[in-house]
Chains A and B, each alone.
Chain A
Amino acid sequence: MRLPRGGARFVFGFLALPVLLYLVFMIGPYLQAFYLAFTDWRGVSASPHFNGIDNFVKLFKDEVFWKAVTHHLVLLVALPLITLVIGLFFAFLLNMGGGTKGVRGSKFYQAVFFFPQVLAVAVIGVLFQAMYRPDKAGVLNGLLDALGLPSVGWLTNPNLALWSLIAVLVWQSVGFYVVLFAAGMASIPQEVIEAAELDGCSKARMFFQVTLPLLWDTVQVAWVYLGIAAFDGFALVATLSVDRGGPDGATTVLPLEIWRNAFTFSKYGYASSMGVALFILSLTFAVLTLRVTRRERIEY
């Protein structure tokens, strides 16, 4: 499409201010963090001292850093996988493969699934504090108690804590992907579905051989989104876990360690080097995902 005369100038005129704001408030701090990563800045002086790659040498020997990275890897696999499977399943039920009507009341479910998405993370944190409360006053342990079962330390058992947090992340994000996939499925052409049905295609086969391939682009986008979410998790870990990231580092994540090193230990330089590591990790992930999942677009 060609812009009318002077249109480009018009468009850039509108874009200039937001781009400038973005540069100053988003990109600028990024660059400063890169600079600080090579200093021993403690956050209170006006002149950081340059200390080369000291921070990164320390980082590679830091047990807590590797713990956090391991947790991100677990999140990176578990979070997209679980969320996508549940999201696709629900979306399929709501649409029955696309075009045709889903289960009864599917519009209602679609709205309900979306609810967690509109809640602020802090609200979700408080909500799940009540769910996971370790004594019988907790929702889950209250139920277990009513059934005569012993209480479970959802967040205090080091083997369970990270999974309890992943469950919250999944619960929170599934609704969005249900809606995303439902929209994707709704746009699959009716003829394809009808043709498959006429050939006597079962529901399961329809899903795996018709719906999923035609939805591939959307799934790919979803995977990148969820992967990036897997590098965060700060708010939930900070509000829910024992001792912020505990028990004994069993649930810690990089953003939390960045926050702790900066604001609790006053090691802003070191925290920045962690931030750089996180930046590189998430960038690598995004690039890899885009490369690996790139394939021929199906035209229809």
Chain B
Amino acid sequence: MSGALPQNPSRRSVLKGLGMAALAAGPLSACAFGSDDSNNTGSGPTGTKSADNPFGVAANAGLEVVIFKGGLGDAYATDVHEPMYKKEFPQANIKHVPTQQIAQTLQPRFASGDVPDVISNAGSDMMDNGALQGEGQLLDLTELFDAPALGGSGKVRDSLMPGSVEAGLVAGKPFLMKYIYTVYGLWYDSALFQKNNWAPATTFEEFDALLGKIKAAGLKPYAYAGKNASYYQYWMIAITAGKIAGNQVLIDMDNLKDGVWTSDPVRQAAEAWAMIGKKYLDPSFEGLIHTEVQTAQNQGQVGMYPSGSWLENEQKDQTPATFQYAVAPTPSVSASDKLPYGAVRAAAGESYIIPSKAKNRAGALEYMRIMLSKEGARGFTQKTGNITVVKGAADGLSLSPGNKSSNEALNKAGDNIITYNLFEDWYKEFETALRSKTNELMFGRISAEEFCKQVQAKADAVKADSSTPKQNRTS
């Protein structure tokens, strides 16, 4: 009867065997980080520089373009920019690589030195731009912004909306080309609001009353998606802090200044939003993702939703014809706020980068110059419905309700533009903690004071971490 159960002396010996095998494997295995080839500067073939060809692109050099194929699709590259490049250099062979997983696709290539020429570094799996720059993997784009604008007059930098070049600064130099001009605020269905005689609130008291009315009408008055998009909410907290105390507080956040998160403006902003969360935020939203919440808004179940101007385009397949996207600025906290109610956050977003070891650097710069030309930007707006950083490129295009509303908000804001949080690019680790703490605050598990204290503690920890390269901005 013996042997009915399997004998198992092998487990132990297998473990022992594995250990031996491990010792033997060393010399055989290929390295994840390859050999040191930092000598390879990879400038690639060059042609002669001229007024039409300011970077000296070699006409027959190949160009590899990696596009994040997310909400914007990749038709803007395949149907607009790449054909424009091809027209300039008919002999050039363009390799177009669409992907949703930028980091997974490109990180090993950066490690081995075999990099593409132009990358749209975007999506939830984007690479850490700060880390790339810190390792000397990014090309300084000063040359691009100083080149003559394609199909226009003056330099490229003069043809862009204010703050566009600055939005791409890392360590004081423009390493990122930020392409889309985005307006942030509270998004709602203007048709629904009109029908119910609701109007966006200018102060938090009014906001409280408005959300109360929306709740009474049977809707969920305010929502954001806690499962994967709690950053939409910390934007609102940051914007409100900026409205109270001016842009300096946002600059201090990015510079990891001591005590900025525990300072009065941030605490007031956190308190104001925590009150909204406590009274009007349905607990189920913490477990939903952004598209689920956005679709609920399209179905008329959600009043106001914090987001940016890409929202309308992202939702266009779910949006009923009667739904009219509109954006409202965040409400004021008090009459002594530094910036008026009409102040909005508007920023250049969506990073495009050129690796410093790109094989066709000149071609990549030229490709970006094409993107930043009026024609290229206009084509982008037509394909994606998003406005670019190129001044006046969308003039004359018939804009969607959401884009029209964004434009109106920008006109009303005038010079009162609230800047973006660059710590999202610079300090991913801090940003991740901020997301968690934002959910804790908005869904009522911690007070505004604890929120400020815990976020400040994380900022201090990142500041003290010598292995994270530090960035700085002054404006």
Using a CB–CB cutoff of 8 Å, the interface residues on chain A facing chain B are 19-20, 22-25, 27-32, 36, 40-48, 51, 54, 132-135, 141, 151, 153-156, 158, 184, 187-189, 217-218, 221, 242-244, 246-249, 260, 263-267, 269-270, 286, 290, 299-300
Dominant secondary structure at the A interface? loop
Bound state CA distance, A266 and B111, in angstroms?
12
B436 touches A132 (CB 8 A): no
B427-447: CB near A (< 8 Å → 1, else 0) gives 011001001110110010100
A243 touches B435 (CB 8 A): yes
23 contacts between A and B (CB under 8 A): A23-B21, A23-B29, A25-B29, A42-B135, A42-B467, A44-B111, A46-B34, A46-B35, A46-B38, A46-B111, A47-B33, A47-B36, A133-B288, A158-B445, A247-B226, A248-B440, A248-B445, A260-B432, A264-B429, A267-B467, A269-B467, A286-B15, A300-B2
List, in ascending order, chain A residues with CB within 8 A of B432's CB.
260, 264-265
Bound state CA distance, A30 and B22, in angstroms?
8
- B31 on interface, CB distance cutoff 8 Å: yes
**Total A-B Cβ pairs within 8 A:** 168
- B397 on interface, CB distance cutoff 8 Å: no
A134 touches B283 (CB 8 A): yes
B11 touches A187 (CB 8 A): no
List, in ascending order, chain B residues with CB within 8 A of A45's CB.
33, 38, 111, 135-137
- B395 on interface, CB distance cutoff 8 Å: no
B5 touches A187 (CB 8 A): yes
Other-chain contact of A246, B37, B112, B128, B436 (Cβ < 8 Å):
B436
- B335 on interface, CB distance cutoff 8 Å: no
List, in ascending order, chain A residues with CB within 8 A of B25's CB.
23-24, 27-28, 31
- B217 on interface, CB distance cutoff 8 Å: no
- B400 on interface, CB distance cutoff 8 Å: no
> 8 Å CB contacts to A: which residues of B131-160?
131-132, 134-137
Other-chain contact of B4, A32, A187, A270 (Cβ < 8 Å):
A187
B2 touches A247 (CB 8 A): no
B40 and chain A: residue at smallest CB distance: A46
- B227 on interface, CB distance cutoff 8 Å: yes
B284 touches A264 (CB 8 A): no
List, in ascending order, chain B residues with CB within 8 A of A48's CB.
33
> 8 Å CB contacts to A: which residues of B9-56?
11-12, 15, 18, 21-22, 24-26, 28-38
Bound state CA distance, A290 and B30, in angstroms?
34
A192 and chain B: residue at smallest CB distance: B1
CB-CB under 8 A for A31 and B135, given A24-B30, A184-B5, A265-B429? no
- B193 on interface, CB distance cutoff 8 Å: no
List, in ascending order, chain A residues with CB within 8 A of B194's CB.
none
CB-CB under 8 A for A156 and B35, given A260-B432, A290-B12? no
A216 and chain B: residue at smallest CB distance: B5
B29 touches A31 (CB 8 A): yes
Other-chain contact of B29, A24, A221, A249, A299 (Cβ < 8 Å):
A24
List, in ascending order, chain A residues with CB within 8 A of B5's CB.
184, 187, 217-218
Bound state CA distance, A221 and B12, in angstroms?
12
